[in-house]
Structures are given as structure tokens and as C-alpha cells.
């Protein structure tokens, strides 16, 4: 989807006469700003923006904003991943009054992430050609890295029906229209879920799907050696004759950015590729 920016009493270039002062209301956007190497320009964040300096003041989130804190921070830009209902009118009004630029992007699939990367330079730089050039160069580099990351890289990839599971009580899975589905398919895999970008399944649904492989997607931050046994995560289904259980094609994709639709997927895709290669070679 196409992102957009807006400001009111002052044009975007006016917001860029001084150093950038960014408020990020999205953990995914914060992670992407870090890859743009402008994390030091973030002056406000949500409680869930864990990829950036935790000393940065928390301003709340889209559903519970501290407007007094926002005014004190006086950002040049507020960057948002809006809900389906759109941005709160109070935030839009305040930004209009203060001359802040709002940049907003839906981040559902990989195309959305690429759009964020490509549009950020223009939203942040306004008429500052020097800034635009530097950010555009970084955007091009990140776009290329993302494209390479979600390619099979000439390796043998397991292409059987794979279920991407986030939670298991109930079972929550990623399907078409989600960034994890896009990553799986781009790498050469096949999603066992044929509809629903983020879908709740019963254990009976999983048994009917009978996936040939199951990948648990978890944002673990601990040492990889401490990642739990995937069979334990499978719960009661580990006692069934699911094809994934019989063949042992069950794994945990463990990465702090696994559930962030951001440029952090460059590293996440590499981990998923390794899992699919191990499934293909029979060495899970």
C-alpha cells in the first residue's frame, strides 16, 4: 500500500530546517529507522519499540497517546502504522496545529515494507536535497538486501505445505496477504494455509490441513541454544500422525524481529531459508 505524509500550517521542508526529531508509533517503523542509521533522531517511541534505545521517552501508542509529552518533544515527524480505522483525529488536528509531518504506512506484506523503505527518504527530507540523497542511497541498498534475503540463493528449498504458527492456544497462523507468507513463498516454500493473512485455527483444523512441515515463529531474544524444543510447543498434536510430526519437519524460527514487518526481515529470511533447506535435506 502507498504511504503518505501530511503537515499543515508549515510545509514539509519547514520541518526539516532543523535536525530531524522523529516520534515513531510503530515498533516495525522504529526497527526500519535503525537500519536507515537514523535511530539517534528518534525522540519518542511506543513501549514496544524494543529495537531502539530504551532511554528514549515513551509517548504511548495510537490508542493511548500522551499529548502533553508530544508537545514537549516537539517532533518534526510522527511516523505511524495506522490501524484499519485510521489515525485518531485528535492526533491529526494536533499535528496540523504544531506543523508536524505525519508519515503513515500499512505494513501487511513485503510490498508494504518495500514501500515504506522507498518513501521514507521523501517524507523525512522534504526539500533538503542532501538529506534526500543520503537516505535514498540507503533505501536502495536496503531494498536490494531485502530482495536478496527472500530469494532461495540457489539452495534446495523444501516446497511442501508448511504451516507458519505464531501461537498455539489457540493456533494462530500466517497466510496469504502477510509478510511471512510472502517470505515463505519467495524463498520457494508453500503455505499450508490457503486463505486468511492471520488466522485462528482449532486443533481439528490443523489435523485436517495435515501440514508437511510446521514452523513456529517466535521473537525470542535469548540465546539460540535456549530456544524451546518445537515438539513441546506443539502440545497435544505431538502425539498425532501429522505428516510434519512423522517426518520431524518441525522447527522454531527464533529471532527478535520475527514478528516485525520491517527491514529486520533481512535477517529473519535468512533463518527461515536455513530451516527450509534443512527440511529439504532431511536434517531438521
Reported as type and span, the H/E element at residue 34 is helix 27-35
Q: What is the mean pLDDT of the chain?
A: 90
Mark which of 95, 117, 149 sits at the end of a domain. Answer: 149
Full residue range of the structural domain in which residue 182 is found: 161-281
Residues 15, 142, single domain; the answer is yes
**pLDDT-derived band at 235, boundaries 50, 70, 90:** confident
The predicted-structure confidence for 247-281, as pLDDT tens digits, reads as follows: 999 999 999 999 999 999 999 999 999 999 999 99
End-to-end CA distance of the chain: 36
C-beta separation of 76 from 18 below 8 A: yes
The predicted-structure confidence for 47-61, as pLDDT tens digits, reads as follows: 999 999 999 999 999
Reported as type and span, the H/E element at residue 250 is strand 250-254
Average pLDDT over residues 19-45: 97
Is the preceding peptide bond at 279 cis, omega within 30 degrees of 0?
no
Percent of the chain at pLDDT > 90 equals 79
* Alpha-carbon torsion (12, 13, 17, 18), positive or negative: positive
Average pLDDT over residues 116-126: 96
Residues 105, 35, single domain; the answer is yes
- Residue 9: pLDDT over 60: no
Could you tell me how many residues make up the chain? 284
How confident is the model at residue 84, as a pLDDT? Answer: 84
Mark which of 100, 123, 149 sits at the end of a domain. Answer: 149
How confident is the model at residue 284, as a pLDDT? Answer: 56
- Residue 200: pLDDT over 60: yes
CATH number of the CATH domain containing 178: 3.40.50.1980
How confident is the model at residue 249, as a pLDDT? Answer: 96
Say if 99 falls within a structural domain.
yes
Residues 39, 176, single domain; the answer is no
Phi-psi region of 196 (alpha: psi -120 to 50; beta: other; left: phi over 0): left
How confident is the model at residue 230, as a pLDDT? Answer: 85
How confident is the model at residue 7, as a pLDDT? Answer: 42
Residues 30, 83, single domain; the answer is yes
Count other C-beta atoms under 10 Å from residue 57's C-beta. 14
Between the CA atoms of 163, 166, 170 and 175, what dihedral angle is there, to the nearest 10 degrees? -50
- Residue 199: pLDDT over 70: yes
Domains held by the chain: number = 2
How confident is the model at residue 222, as a pLDDT? Answer: 56
The predicted-structure confidence for 148-164, as pLDDT tens digits, reads as follows: 999 999 999 999 999 99
Pairing of strands 161-168, 101-104: unpaired
- Residue 17: pLDDT over 90: no
- What are 281's three cell numbers? 535435506
Say if 154 falls within a structural domain.
no
According to DSSP, the residues that pair with 6 across neighbouring strands are: 102
**pLDDT-derived band at 170, boundaries 50, 70, 90:** confident
Pairing of strands 190-191, 198-201: unpaired
Residues 28, 115, single domain; the answer is yes
- Residue 226: pLDDT over 80: no
Residues 203, 226, single domain; the answer is yes
* Residue whose grid cell is 493473512: 197
C-beta separation of 63 from 87 below 8 A: no
Residues 129, 228, single domain; the answer is no
How confident is the model at residue 225, as a pLDDT? Answer: 63
Residues 77, 205, single domain; the answer is no
- Residue 2: pLDDT over 70: no
- What are 89's three cell numbers? 483525529
- Residue 79: pLDDT over 70: yes
**pLDDT-derived band at 142, boundaries 50, 70, 90:** very high
How confident is the model at residue 53, as a pLDDT? Answer: 95
Cα–Cα distance, 110 to 84 (Å, whole number):
18
Amino acid at each position: 500500500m502507498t504511504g503518505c505524509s501530511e503537515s499543515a500550517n508549515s510545509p514539509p521542508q519547514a520541518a526539516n530546517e532543523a535536525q530531524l526529531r522523529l516520534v515513531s508509533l510503530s515498533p516495525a517503523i522504529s526497527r526500519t529507522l535503525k537500519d536507515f542509521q537514523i535511530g539517534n533522531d528518534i525522540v519518542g517511541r511506543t513501549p514496544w519499540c524494543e529495537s531502539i534505545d530504551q532511554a528514549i521517552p515513551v509517548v504511548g501508542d495510537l490508542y493511548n497517546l500522551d499529548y502533553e509529552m508530544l508537545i514537549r518533544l516537539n517532533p518534526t515527524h510522527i511516523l505511524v502504522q495506522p490501524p484499519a480505522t485510521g489515525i485518531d483525529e485528535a492526533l491529526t488536528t494536533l499535528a496540523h496545529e504544531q506543523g508536524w509531518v505525519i508519515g503513515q504506512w500499512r505494513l501487511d506484506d513485503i510490498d508494504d515494507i518495500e514501500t515504506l523503505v522507498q518513501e521514507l527518504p521523501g517524507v523525512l527530507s522534504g526539500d533538503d536535497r542532501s538529506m534526500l540523497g543520503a537516505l535514498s542511497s540507503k533505501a536502495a541498498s536496503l531494498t536490494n538486501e531485502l530482495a536478496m534475503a527472500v530469494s532461495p540463493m540457489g539452495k534446495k528449498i523444501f516446497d511442501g505445505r508448511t504451516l507458519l504458527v505464531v501461537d498455539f492456544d489457540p493456533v494462530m497462523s500466517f497466510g496469504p496477504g502477510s509478510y511471512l507468507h510472502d517470505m515463505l513463498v519467495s524463498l520457494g516454500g508453500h503455505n499450508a494455509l490457503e486463505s486468511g493473512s492471520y488466522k485462528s485455527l482449532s486443533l481439528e483444523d490443523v489435523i485436517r490441513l495435515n501440514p508437511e512441515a510446521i514452523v513456529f515463529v517466535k521473537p525470542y531474544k535469548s540465546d539460540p541454544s535456549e530456544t524451546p524444543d518445537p515438539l513441546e510447543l506443539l502440545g497435544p498434536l505431538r502425539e498425532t500422525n501429522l505428516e510434519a510430526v512423522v517426518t520431524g519437519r518441525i522447527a522454531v524460527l527464533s529471532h527478535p524481529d520475527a514478528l516485525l514487518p520491517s527491514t529486520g526481515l533481512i535477517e529473519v529470511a535468512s533463518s527461515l531459508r536455513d530451516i527450509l533447506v534443512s527440511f529439504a535435506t532431511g536434517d531438521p
